[in-house]
Chains A and B, each alone.
Chain A
Amino acid sequence: MGSGERYRSGSELPLTGNLDECREEMTELFGETKDLRMEDLQIGQKQAMLLYLLTITDAQLLTERVLQPIGRLPVEQSVASVDEFEQLCAKMLGGSAHVILHTNQDAVQKILEGFSVIVMEGVSAAVAIFTEGGGKRGIQEPTTQTIVKGPKDGFVEDLRTNLSLLRKRIRNHKLRIETFTIGTDTGTNVCLIYMKGIANEGIVEEARKRLQDIRTNAVFETGNIEEFIADKTITPFPTVYSTERPDAVSAHLVSGKAAIVVDGTPFVITLPTVFNDFMIAPEDYYQSFMMGSFLRLIRYLSFMFALMLPSLYVSVITYHHELIPTPLLISVISQREGVPFPAVVEAFLMEVTFEILREAGVRMPRAVGGTISIVGGLVIGQAAVEAGIISNTMVIVVALTAISSFVAPYYIFSISSRLLRFGLIVLGGVFGLYGVFLGLMVMVGHLCGLRSFGVPYLAPIAPFIMKDQKDIFIRLPVWASKLRPQMLKPDSAVKQQESESPSPPPVYPSERRGKRKSKGDQP
């Protein structure tokens, strides 16, 4: 069990078995907090004390796992040594998760994790029984990555539920879960999950090391972890993949990636991540490979749209009139007639307006949701065009760009195109197409330099890996790809050796037999 930097409360001293001393120490640590319960118990002949935090303890579990077994103990039961205590616990609490503790520190830790701790008079050990409770959200459909066909469950805020969702999908002894406690103030449980023997050992080791090296006070979301463990680069592109979908995480795990689950958030991150991961939706694999491939091409196209469309429009309109077919040019000119701003300013204005609208749409309370579409779409969009401030074509360009940016199956990925778009608009307005393409070149150069846990970000396109091409721009049928992604250098490369799609039998056997028989019978 690894443990990150954490404020360790309580003395390193062993438990003495003196109840008053223990009570004093706990009172000193927790102070007057209302939810710490220290209840006196009688276990057989001995005095004992039950400690738990009321707010995170399930009363029913407490009764079932602690109070009822104690009540069933014979009255003459007496415990004198640690050995006897351990035996008693094994007998009394067998089947419910319990841990024998020897120091005050451990006891405090367990109480904070939602365990109930029993300290016994005269025994220099304590037992912690898992009784965690508290509010939990039920499993629901993920809100950020919805699909039409495929599993509908999503991760929730509870770590154990999330782990169970993964375990249930991958029923394999190779699935390993390692726990870390991160955050000196929050002491959050963080799990590193991988498939032993499939995931590259080096990558897992690197992830483990990076998790252990995190020095922070609070972790509330995988995003907090993400910034600590991502490779040291300033980039608008995400270098880890975070998702709400257990099926996506499971697929990543069996392809040789590692996952990090953080208690308290439904987002799980997987790593290493390459550019292409963000163009893949889990649904690609749940529907026909032709449709999956087609949608993937659409996604690449719409990424390019989201990134470049306004800047291309601006540069063509401002510098390269000869590139537009004459009828289109005439119609563009007639629409731009009387627009007071240069195309760059116009594009900037509209893009910023759109970003404001989007931000408002995300943040505002649901109840006023309709307002945004009326104010945004009608008032700003239509009125601006009718007032002659913005041209119609620009509205079309901005709208297409906006819609394209929502196509990315992974919402966070559109951040990169949203940010870079503005840079490209400026370049397009200043240098024309020349500037836009210079900008793209710098962007591609930057992408080539990115790495995620040692895997090049543009793999398997740059560096080119032929074996991985079956699942990049197009998805071949599942039986056609026999290897796990080679760019991840998995410890076991082959995923399905003897896989082939069945060809139909020459003639349907029973039919043939039937016919022969009837013929033979006749004479």
Chain B
Amino acid sequence: MKKKIVVVGNGMVGYKFCEKLIAKDTAQEFDLVVFGEEIRPAYDRVHLSSYFAGKTVEDLTMAPASWYAENGITLHLSDPIVDIDRDAKTVRSHHGLVESYDYLVLATGSAAFVPPIPGVEKDGVFVYRTIEDLDMMQHHAKKAKKGAVIGGGLLGLEAAKALLDLGLEETHVIEFAPRLMPRQVDDAGSKMLQTKLEELGLKIHLNKNTQEIRGNGAISSMLFADGVELEVDMLVISAGIKPRDEVARIAGLEVGVRGGVIVNDYLQTSDSNIYAIGECALAHHMIYGLVAPGYEMADVVVNQLVKDKDKSFKPFDMSTKLKLIGVDVASFGDAFIQEPNCQTIVYENSAKGVYKRINISNDGKYLLGGILIGDAEQYNMLLQNVKNQTILPPDPEDLMLGARGGKEESGAGVMALPDDASICSCEAISKGQICGEVLAGNNTLDAIKKCTKAGTGCGGCVPMIKDLINETMKSQGVYIRNIICEHFDYTRQELFDLVKIKGYRTYEEALDGLGHGDGCETCKPAVASILASLWNEMILVKGNDTVQDSNDRYLANIQKNGTYSVVPRIPGGEITPEKLIVIGQVAQKYGLYTKITGGQRIDLFGAHVSDLPAIWEELVNAGFESGHAYGKALRTVKSCVGSTWCRFGLHDSVSFAIEIEERYRGLRAPHKFKSAVSGCTRECAEAQSKDFGIIATEKGWNLYVCGNGGVKPQHALLLASDIDSETCLKYIDRFLMFYIKTAEPLTRTATWLNKLDGGIDYLKAVVIDDVLGLNKQFEDEMNMLVEAYRCEWKEVVTNPELRKRFTHFVNAPHLKDPNVKFEPMRDQIKAAEWVK
């Protein structure tokens, strides 16, 4: 018995599906019926702009109507499907045709995304999608002089090419982002591309937000958010695409929040007899807006229908190479991966209009991706290197340059670098550019970020940028302060002192009294941290809840799929079997993934936000407290087993670790801090890698400070040796308070010490010799904070008002986020991979 396949949509991908199915010689097996919305059979949309350069509709047509007939395909044009009856397995067309199906393939493609700008309905405003659009543009262009395109992406530049071909006197490209082709090209590449395109006659406007389209009936000008007005009499909107999922929605198929029919790896929708392919399909949480992956999707579905082989649709390589108005542009592999996750090599030649960037794995072995502008000759070879994981030669720059690349060595201090040294490799910004901007008046980090984009990528160069700003200002005889952000003109240390003197207890009070504007995600957590370090009050009350950083706000660590992880405190890493059982039971009950952490405790992952209070209620009832794994606060005090069991142990390291952890638990600081206690010099607790670490000696304890694991490991330095427990705690009190009061936001103790004038010797002078005369105050303040400690989670579970905030849907508190997905792994769960 023959089965019937109905294809909804006759675009490039819908056509390709037919072609691939026919190629399998399936005429005996399947009847094929196609419904298309447009009046003509599928045509090549990718090369639409060649229509103005002289190609005809016939040239662009994928296959003439006769091809469908010859291959036994029933083709209905100008007749879109308007309804699917999934129970009866029938579709109904606009003209009222009802067709039954065994398998339905949705290939409805996408429409132009038109931003809701007032005036888009005016005459002379077009989208760039179909041959009809082109005909209307052509007609209008006869009387138009100045044209513009909204959108500087791939499609927008194609549309700009079309306007050039139509012979307009002026063609403007309006892009909202700070660069052209933001998906394919980085800032430096965009600059090069812009120069080339401007040479070819385009006028490019970046960072432009169109606010209104003006004109009496027909467009006469565009008004931008910065107040500038541009006279145009023709506009093409090419600001992106939106999947055509209307009929899928009507049929109750699962669709993505931002549109697109959700499909699995086999491109099946939520109804297994209905497939979706091309730009209407939401595969791996994304819309694949290129034709190549669309064709691959068609192939996957054909293979399944003929049960040829079990082929699934894998994340598709989005590498692209194209000629835009005569300029080579290529982007391949992981084009945007940034240091420190890779090494980046950049070649730039403005005279020739060439920009090249390659990203190499940190071990120098593999090519990960890159960008080529102006000269993409090596594209294929480079792409092959990425795809085949070829081992690179010792001088990988030769791959993109030919053997003539030079290397630059960075000196010790940041000012010792040559002017052309790359500071921000993400944005390819040199030291000279940054120093130049500083001298021109952009002398804050925010200003540098804004005008150069340096530091806005991975952020790894931000400390270097700050140093450059400070050093450049110093060289001009100006003393510079690191202010918090645009809302507070104070350094953290100044703000700390002022908040204390004024006695402010809430962020709003601090903003009203010391700042201006409405605050932001930089100053809110910075002030919240100061308030917590000063008063140690519950952080979620008095309106301070919404100024806490992501994790503090929900007293848990947000993880990949929006669920949270839960870490009860296990002081010193010591735990009873009874408590271990409770953790196991809670994990079982709430379906949590469990893992031992690096800090000798147990992390429970995958908790829905609405489950957090119930989980903690059970933990609190069993005697657990918050572990503050979510806070810029004391994490753990790790310990070795010490003299109670170990034959080498000198002192009871576990008891001391517990005492220390319980003293400083919940203490908030500019950054997280960790500690450890080792019972002998073998150092099993790795105390010298901690913010403060203690090692037993024959005569007492050695106290080390300012060690760090993390990105830049640093050994802790000896602060005091052979001290007794009481002195040790005093020194830690003083050290921590000094750090809390003087460090900049988000600065670990190691970095703080590195910047401290006088270094460890000065720190010793403060903590041991009391040169500042503040030690009594430091100790009193610490004692006050220790006294004020209360378990945050205990407070939440016993306070209905606070508990109420732990919901995903405020209007459906018992409903969990349906978008949260888990996948099985080694008898547990893991978060579903997110889009990259």
**Chains A and B are bound partners:** no
A interface list, Cβ under 8 A from B: none
B interface list, Cβ under 8 A from A: none
